[in-house]
């Protein structure tokens, strides 16, 4: 006989229902069924009720809505709710020790604590479209609910170690192959889960991972996997800690392993790197948000300019399945651009990232042309030609004539005023900036620059498009250099001053790498090409206040025809075909000359001073950008700097870093620098305000 009881709520977020001898415990905590304190309590209550229910022979644990469970409630970390009883560890123990079989029925995703919960169940079945993963390392953490101890006991330590340190989810079929799930279901999920659970109800015993002995893995293999980790990864500490946890699973009994995992988790969750990575997790989601009732649809894309930028942008779209028209003025330039695109794809193929067929399929999506008339039907046109206002205006006047009504006309300018460009068209509402970062097929950041008259519909269309091509868009306003490059100006300014005061290029770069930057500011200038900034400085020279200190070093280096790597020399010199910067006495001479002419007595400059001045220059300008509304929020500045400029993710971006130092302390440092080095260091009023509120 089939019995059913109406679903009742154990807490606001967990439902309980008995159907045909099976207790259905359903997590209903939108948006991601996160395992907050109330959910954990509800799960424990549900298990108690199922144990007591005379008619209950088995239990199915599932998620309501789109997914099983997105893991711990990240927003609760570092709050009392995170450690409120019962902790996930206790809930898992209750599930594992249940006499009646418990089946996790996974759909959508089972991530982090969600998968740990499923691992505590006796059986796991997954919908064919489900994704399963332990992504904690991406947040600077390790699984803290027993995942590092149960998974090695289920799928073996070597596979578990890779699974946990990569943080990458697998799909249901891969999970089945790994032994992570017992079955993949194609049909009606709940019915399949109930049938599966009833089938197991009469078994004498159910698999309990906690009862298994430590997992096996040789010390040599453990060492090899540890050494294979990338020490420069943004989450390197968490990955190393994950190896420690798995090692514990190979050496300790289950309970002792759990204790070790918990202690390591507690250390990470309290630390700054994880707080910074969690800040970025939410900041990146926040940055993509833009509310508009309509969004302009983008199905076809055209790009003008097949240089490094244009080609990279074309690849970004082709990778996401878009057809792209790529236009150049001359055949030779078009051929060069396409050859570079092909070479980039072939490098990916050589690394095993792409198959030969996929390379051809992507290349086939890029349609080369010498005729801009081919742009007539494009929904989005991106101009990636020479960075010069007159050139851009001429191009936009032409695009205005050629492109269909409703097409979005975008410029990839990294500095120029979008409004001046838009003014040459009859449709300024359709003109926008899309500032891709080089190499555009790799870099995730996209500054979406709204002009004074850009319509919301166009902005919304571009924000949506960015997600479709796997970019992280940040909406910014018009000003010299927008967010990222505008902040670089102050950063490079301080680097120039520090050179004059006594530092060497190699010392500055090493100090900034020591702070955590992927690359120092001067090596970065050499990589990007010093001529571009030189042109900008010359353009802005007439408006530069003459009483302000100005370092001549960069200009003098450029005057010698040294533009960085592309000319074999810049702040450093480079051997032919090499990207390794070699300190150059010629540059030391230039620096010494500039210092002498400026009346500066050179002194020993410490690495701490270098890092502090360069980073605070970013922070002070970031604060002005926020106050002016050029960035919508301080966290957007962080997203830009981490994803576009190599700021260490584990420090959360310049604004999060400053907030963590404390705005009062930041203000004091700025005031001291102001007193010592003058007007460049006037503290941004926004920081004065933050310090007042602190
Ligand atoms: N805890 C708290 N909030 C979470 C969360 C979590 N574990 N996972 C997602 N959210 C929030 C998001 O910030 C977002 O909030 P918002 O609407 O206020 O912006 C909302 O839930 C929806 O998330 P979103 O990522 O936009 O939904 P999605 O359907 O695209 O993706 C997931 C869902 C679960 C795949 C994705 O959010 C994710 O990967 N989450 C992190 C999982 C994780 O790392 N778990 C381990 C925690 S230690």
CB atoms within 10 A of CB 136: 31
Ligand 1, from 13, 29, 32: best to mutate by most atoms within 8 Å of Cβ?
32
CA–centroid distance, residue 450 to ligand 1 (Å): 28
Longest Cα–Cα distance of the chain, Å, equals 97
570 φ/ψ angles, rounded to the nearest 5 degrees? -160, -120
Ligand 1, from 70, 82, 107: best to mutate by most atoms within 8 Å of Cβ?
70
CA–centroid distance, residue 173 to ligand 1 (Å): 23
Average pLDDT over every residue of 396-409 = 98
CA–centroid distance, residue 692 to ligand 1 (Å): 33
How far, in Å, CA of 493 to CA of 395, rounded?
33
CA–centroid distance, residue 67 to ligand 1 (Å): 11
- Residue 470 has a pLDDT of 96
Kind of pairing, strands 300-304 and 380-383?
Answer: parallel
Average pLDDT over every residue of 186-199 = 94
Measuring CA to CA, which residue among 21, 114, 24 is closest to residue 73?
114
Q: pTM (2 decimals)?
A: 0.94
Q: Are 296 and 406 in contact (CB under 8 A)?
A: yes
Q: Are 69 and 33 in contact (CB under 8 A)?
A: yes
- Residue 680 has a pLDDT of 96
Range list for CATH 3.90.226.10 in the chain: 8-270
Beta carbon of 137 within 6 Å of any ligand 1 atom: no
CA–centroid distance, residue 618 to ligand 1 (Å): 30
Q: Which atom of ligand 1 is nearest to the CA of 286?
A: 19
Q: What pLDDT band is residue 693 in, cutting at 50, 70 and 90?
A: confident
Beta carbon of 36 within 6 Å of any ligand 1 atom: no
How far, in Å, CA of 43 to CA of 16, rounded?
9
Q: What DSSP letter does each residue of 74-139 carry, written as one string?
A: GGGTTSGGGGPSSPHHHHHHHHHH-SS-EEEEE-SEEETHHHHHHHHSSEEEEETT-EEE-GGGGG
Beta carbon of 141 within 6 Å of any ligand 1 atom: yes
- Residue 204 has a pLDDT of 83
User: Collapsing DSSP states into helix, strand and coil, what is residue 406?
Assistant: coil
Q: Is 600 left (phi over 0), alpha (psi -120 to 50) or beta?
A: beta
How far, in Å, CA of 245 to CA of 136, rounded?
13
- In whole numbers, what is the pLDDT of the chain averaged over residues? 96
Beta carbon of 289 within 6 Å of any ligand 1 atom: no
136 a catalytic residue: yes
What are 248's two structure tokens?
């514990």
User: Is residue 1's pLDDT more than 80?
Assistant: no
CA–centroid distance, residue 295 to ligand 1 (Å): 24
- Tell the residue nearest (CA) to atom 22 of ligand 1: 31
DSSP structural state of residue 226 = H
Beta carbon of 368 within 6 Å of any ligand 1 atom: no
For the stretch 117-143, pLDDT in tens is 999 999 999 999 999 999 999 999 999
- Tell the residue nearest (CA) to atom 13 of ligand 1: 282
Please name the residues in contact with 113: beta carbons below 8 A apart, sequence gap of 6 or more. Answer: 35, 69, 71, 72, 88, 143, 144, 145, 147
Task: Give percent helix, percent strand, percent coil of the chain, each to the nearest 5.
Answer: 55, 15, 35
DSSP structural state of residue 416 = S
Could you give the dihedral angle defined by the CA atoms of residues 142, 147, 149 and 155, in that order, rounded to the nearest 10 degrees? Answer: -120
Spot the catalytic one: 18, 136, 457, 500: 136
Q: Which atom of ligand 1 is nearest to the CA of 66?
A: 29
Indicate the angle between helix axes 585-597 and 484-501, nearest 10 degrees.
80
Q: Which atom of ligand 1 is nearest to the CA of 134?
A: 46
Q: Is 167 left (phi over 0), alpha (psi -120 to 50) or beta?
A: left
Beta carbon of 343 within 6 Å of any ligand 1 atom: no
346 a catalytic residue: no
Which superfamily does CATH assign the domain made up of 300-476 to? Answer: NAD(P)-binding Rossmann-like Domain (3.40.50.720)
Q: Are 145 and 154 in contact (CB under 8 A)?
A: no
Q: Which atom of ligand 1 is nearest to the CA of 138?
A: 44
User: Is residue 69's pLDDT more than 80?
Assistant: yes
Beta carbon of 136 within 6 Å of any ligand 1 atom: yes
Spot the catalytic one: 17, 90, 96, 116: 116
Beta carbon of 284 within 6 Å of any ligand 1 atom: no
CB atoms within 10 A of CB 507: 20
User: Is residue 86's pLDDT more than 50?
Assistant: yes
- Tell the residue nearest (CA) to atom 39 of ligand 1: 70
CA–centroid distance, residue 629 to ligand 1 (Å): 27
Q: What is the CATH number of domain 8-270?
A: 3.90.226.10
For the stretch 564-589, pLDDT in tens is 999 999 999 999 999 999 999 999 99
User: Is residue 461's pLDDT more than 60?
Assistant: yes
Average pLDDT over every residue of 629-644 = 97
CA–centroid distance, residue 32 to ligand 1 (Å): 6
- Residue 3 has a pLDDT of 61
CA–centroid distance, residue 584 to ligand 1 (Å): 49
For the stretch 148-166, pLDDT in tens is 999 999 999 999 999 999 9
Average pLDDT over every residue of 642-654 = 96
- Tell the residue nearest (CA) to atom 46 of ligand 1: 112
Beta carbon of 71 within 6 Å of any ligand 1 atom: yes
Q: Are 328 and 322 in contact (CB under 8 A)?
A: no
- Residue 232 has a pLDDT of 87
- Residue 10 has a pLDDT of 86
Beta carbon of 143 within 6 Å of any ligand 1 atom: no
For the stretch 418-460, pLDDT in tens is 999 999 999 999 999 999 998 999 999 999 999 999 999 999 9
Beta carbon of 380 within 6 Å of any ligand 1 atom: no
Beta carbon of 182 within 6 Å of any ligand 1 atom: no
Q: What is the CATH number of domain 484-629+662-693?
A: 1.10.1040.50
CA–centroid distance, residue 297 to ligand 1 (Å): 26
Q: What pLDDT band is residue 39 in, cutting at 50, 70 and 90?
A: very high
Beta carbon of 109 within 6 Å of any ligand 1 atom: yes
Range list for CATH 1.10.1040.50 in the chain: 484-629+662-693
- Tell the residue nearest (CA) to atom 25 of ligand 1: 285
Q: Which atom of ligand 1 is nearest to the CA of 73?
A: 1
Q: Are 309 and 440 in contact (CB under 8 A)?
A: yes
Beta carbon of 31 within 6 Å of any ligand 1 atom: yes
CA–centroid distance, residue 33 to ligand 1 (Å): 9
- Residue 51 has a pLDDT of 97
């Amino acid at each position: 006989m089939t019995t059913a009881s109406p679903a009742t709520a154990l807490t606001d977020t967990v439902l309980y229902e008995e159907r045909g001898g099976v207790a259905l415990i359903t997590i209903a905590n939108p948006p991601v069924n996160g395992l907050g304190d109330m959910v954990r309590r509800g799960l424990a209550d549900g298990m108690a009720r199922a144990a007591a229910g005379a008619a209950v022979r088995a239990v199915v644990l599932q998620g309501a809505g789109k997914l099983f469970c997105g893991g711990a409630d990240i927003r609760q970390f570092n709050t009392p709710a995170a450690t409120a009883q019962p902790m996930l560890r206790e809930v898992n123990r209750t599930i594992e020790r249940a006499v009646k079989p418990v089946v996790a029925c996974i759909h959508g995703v089972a991530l982090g604590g969600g998968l740990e919960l499923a691992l505590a169940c006796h059986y796991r079945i997954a919908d064919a479209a489900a994704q399963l993963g332990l992504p904690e390392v991406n947040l600077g953490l390790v699984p803290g609910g027993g995942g590092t101890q149960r998974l090695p006991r289920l799928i073996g330590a070597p596979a578990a170690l890779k699974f946990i340190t990569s943080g990458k989810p697998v799909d249901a079929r891969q999970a089945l192959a790994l032994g992570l799930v017992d079955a993949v279901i194609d049909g009606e999920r709940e019915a399949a889960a109930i049938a599966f659970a009833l089938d197991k109800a009469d078994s004498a015993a159910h698999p309990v991972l906690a009862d298994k002995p430590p997992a096996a893995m040789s010390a040599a293999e453990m060492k090899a996997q540890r050494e294979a980790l990338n020490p420069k990864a943004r989450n390197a500490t968490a990955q190393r800690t994950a190896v420690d946890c798995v090692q514990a699973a190979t050496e300790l009994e289950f309970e002792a392993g759990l204790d070790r995992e918990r202690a390591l988790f507690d250390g990470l969750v309290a630390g700054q790197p994880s707080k910074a990575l969690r800040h970025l997790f939410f900041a990146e989601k926040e940055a993509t948000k833009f509310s508009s009732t309509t969004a302009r649809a983008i199905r076809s894309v055209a790009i003008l300019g097949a240089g490094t930028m244009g080609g990279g942008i074309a690849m970004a779209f082709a990778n996401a399945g878009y057809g792209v028209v790529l236009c150049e003025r001359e055949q030779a330039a078009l051929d060069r651009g396409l050859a570079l695109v092909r070479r980039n794809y072939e490098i990916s193929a050589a690394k095993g990232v792409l198959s030969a067929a996929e390379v051809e399929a992507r290349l086939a999506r890029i349609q080369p042309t010498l005729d801009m008339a081919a742009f007539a039907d494009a929904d989005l046109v991106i101009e990636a030609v020479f960075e010069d206002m007159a050139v851009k205006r001429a191009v936009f006047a032409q695009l205005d004539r050629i492109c269909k009504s409703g097409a979005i006309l975008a410029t990839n300018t990294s500095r120029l005023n979008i409004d001046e460009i838009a003014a040459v068209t009859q449709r300024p509402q359709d003109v926008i900036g899309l500032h891709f970062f080089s190499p555009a097929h790799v870099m995730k950041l996209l500054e979406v620059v709204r002009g004074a008259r850009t319509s919301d519909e166009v902005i919304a269309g571009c924000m949506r498009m960015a997600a479709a091509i796997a970019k992280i868009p940040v909406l910014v306003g018009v000003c010299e250099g927008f967010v990222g490059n505008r902040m670089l100006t102050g950063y490079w300014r301080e680097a120039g001053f520090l050179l004059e005061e006594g530092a060497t290029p190699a010392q500055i770069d090493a100090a900034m790498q020591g702070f955590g930057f992927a690359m120092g500011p001067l090596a970065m200038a050499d990589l990007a090409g010093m001529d571009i900034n030189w042109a900008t400085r010359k353009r802005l020279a007439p408006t530069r206040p003459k009483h302000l200190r100005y370092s001549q070093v960069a200009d003098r280096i450029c005057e010698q025809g040294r533009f960085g790597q592309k000319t074999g020399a810049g702040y450093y010199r480079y051997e032919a075909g090499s990207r390794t910067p070699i300190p150059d006495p010629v540059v030391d001479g230039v620096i010494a000359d500039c210092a002498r002419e400026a009346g500066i007595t050179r002194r020993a400059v410490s690495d701490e001073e270098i890092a502090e001045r360069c980073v605070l220059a970013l922070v002070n300008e970031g604060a002005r950008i926020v106050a002016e509304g050029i960035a919508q929020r301080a966290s957007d500045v962080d997203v830009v700097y981490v994803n576009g400029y190599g700021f260490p993710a584990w420090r959360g971006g310049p604004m999060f870093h400053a907030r963590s130092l404390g705005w009062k302390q930041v203000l004091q440092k700025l005031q001291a620098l102001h007193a010592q080095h003058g007007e460049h260091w006037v503290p941004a009023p926004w920081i004065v305000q933050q310090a007042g509120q602190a």
